[in-house]
Amino acid sequence: MRGNINLRKEVFYWQDMKIKKITLRKIEIPMLTSFTTGFGTIDRKPTVLVRVETTDGIIGWGESAALPYPMYNPESVDTCMLVIRDYLASSVLNKPFETIEDINKLMSPVRENYIAKTGIETAIWMILSLARNKSIPEILGGTRKKIEVGESIGIKKSIQETTEEIGLRLSQGFKRIKIKIKPGWDINLIKAIRIKYPDISLMVDANSSYTLKDISLLKKMDNYNLTMIEQPLGDDDIVDHAVLQKQLRTPICLDESILTLDDARRAISIGSCKIINIKPGRVGGLNETKRISEHCQSKSVGVWIGGMLEIGIGQAYKIAAASLQNCIYPGDLSPIDFYYKDDVLIDSPKVDKNGCIKVSQKPGLGYQISEDKIKHYTVAKIDLK
Ligand code: OSB
Ligand code: MG
């Protein structure tokens, strides 16, 4: 009998859900340190939090973790605020939905703007998880109970400062080191790191700062046993990446180039990469993350979960994503307190001394949200009904 009642309750929530209200907040937690990449320096990192409430009173939170300016991709914190406020909220408010695919379909008339969509999409995952009383990794189909964490190290003032930070991160247990490179900050740095740390799992991320004209320099990277080179060329250039991959032994990993499952399918079919960094934000949320991951698995292309310097809410969804079976490389899941003075979670995920995070199996976000902290760090708030 009890089983039947639970089942009916689940079906009830599953079939009759509607979004009653969306609250959009721009949040800014002070950064402890800046982060420099091939596209510029991030020294302020506002983010967007999306609170979604259903007619049944279930509440979900999502994060649209864009940068303050459109330099990693065309979105920014302010474009996310505008696109959710003026276009996405009205496309989902008061519309019946049963599945995450329904939500994605309702948002699909708005082209791209995937970071903005992720704020809503992930909040719906939290709502579905609470309604079904099952954890997000469980409904997503993630099987890993523990995930491996790598550290991403920005461009520093000197090689010595970089090797010192690498030493610190290795002593803290991180499973691989990623360093940001750009023209002029590449081979000499890689060489110096390899002299000091000949055997560590080391990769580089160029954030699109090279072109095929740099091919002889990029080929030199084959001498340093890098686990991968992330996004060496343009975000719109899977063709040139295919040309480059044919001349490199080191696997190319695409980040900025892959926005959808179709992008992944095309890139793999022409040999543009051997690995994909999936950022839930860049691809519009956890559903597309899973679809890309599964397609990659069918083509023997391993993936890992990348990041956008999320705060705890976005981090929780990245952890859920990293529980997918094909996430075979350590993810960019730095502890929040490496970059920020505070977090909006009370129990922010911890990296253990072996460089791993335990995947929360609790229904909902999996971590405890502090509404007081969210209010404290809010710089703008918009209610949408
Ligand atoms: O290219 O992976 C990137 C941070 C901001 C924007 C782009 C990137 C990054 C990182 C850090 O490398 C990832 C993280 O720890 O969240
Ligand atoms: Mg990257």
Place 3 in a pLDDT band, splitting at 50, 70 and 90. very low
Distance of CA 308 to the CA centre of its chain: 6
Distance 1 CA to ligand 1 centre (A): 50
- pLDDT at residue 16 in the model: 76
CATH 3.40.50.620 at 9-135+371-384, yes or no: no
Q: Of the listed 117, 180, 290, 318, which one is catalytic?
A: 180
Contact 63 CB / ligand 1 (< 6 Å): no
Mean pLDDT computed over every residue of the chain:
95
Reported as a single tens digit per residue, the pLDDT across 248-297 is: 999 999 999 999 999 999 999 999 999 999 999 999 999 999 999 999 99
Looking at CATH, the fold of the domain delimited by 138-358 is given as TIM Barrel (3.20.20)
Place 81 in a pLDDT band, splitting at 50, 70 and 90. very high
Reported as a single tens digit per residue, the pLDDT across 313-365 is: 999 999 999 999 999 999 999 999 999 999 999 999 999 999 999 999 999 99
Q: Whose CA is nearest to atom 1 of ligand 1?
A: 207
What does the alpha-carbon distance between residue 189 and residue 321 come to, in Å, rounded to a whole number?
32
How, if at all, do strands 202-205 and 177-180 pair?
parallel
The 10 Å Cβ neighbour count of residue 222 is: 13
Distance 4 CA to ligand 2 centre (A): 47
Could you give the C-alpha distances from 125 to 40, 133, 178, 263, in angstroms and in order? 33, 12, 30, 24
Contact 334 CB / ligand 1 (< 6 Å): yes
Q: What percent of the chain has pLDDT over 90?
A: 96
- pLDDT at residue 6 in the model: 44
Reported as a single tens digit per residue, the pLDDT across 63-78 is: 999 999 999 999 999 9
Place 14 in a pLDDT band, splitting at 50, 70 and 90. low
Does the structure show a pLDDT above 60 at 7?
Answer: no
**Which atom from ligand 1 is nearest to the alpha carbon of 256?**
1
Spell out the long-range contacts of 102-108 with Cβ–Cβ below 8 A and sequence spacing 24 or more.
104/284, 104/285, 104/287, 104/288, 107/284
- pLDDT at residue 103 in the model: 97
Distance 302 CA to ligand 2 centre (A): 16
279 is an active site residue: yes
Structure-block tokens of residue 189: 């740095």
Number of the ligand closest to the Cα of 180: 1
Contact 330 CB / ligand 1 (< 6 Å): no
Q: What are the extents of the domains in the chain?
A: 9-135+371-384, 138-358
Place 2 in a pLDDT band, splitting at 50, 70 and 90. very low
Mean of pLDDT values over 10-37: 86
Does the structure show a pLDDT above 90 at 236?
Answer: yes
Place 125 in a pLDDT band, splitting at 50, 70 and 90. very high
How, if at all, do strands 302-305 and 19-27 pair?
unpaired
Could you give the C-alpha distances from 233 to 237, 252, 253, 263, 301, in angstroms and in order? 7, 10, 11, 15, 19
Distance 344 CA to ligand 2 centre (A): 25
Mean of pLDDT values over 306-318: 98
- pLDDT at residue 1 in the model: 31
How many Å from the N-terminal Cα to the C-terminal Cα in the chain?
Answer: 38
Q: Residue 54 belongs to what H/E stretch? A: strand 47-54
- pLDDT at residue 383 in the model: 98
**Which atom from ligand 1 is nearest to the alpha carbon of 333?**
15
- pLDDT at residue 353 in the model: 96
Does the structure show a pLDDT above 90 at 198?
Answer: yes
**Which atom from ligand 1 is nearest to the alpha carbon of 205?**
1
In this chain, the answer to whether the domains covering 9-135+371-384 and 138-358 adopt an identical fold is: no
Number of the ligand closest to the Cα of 232: 2
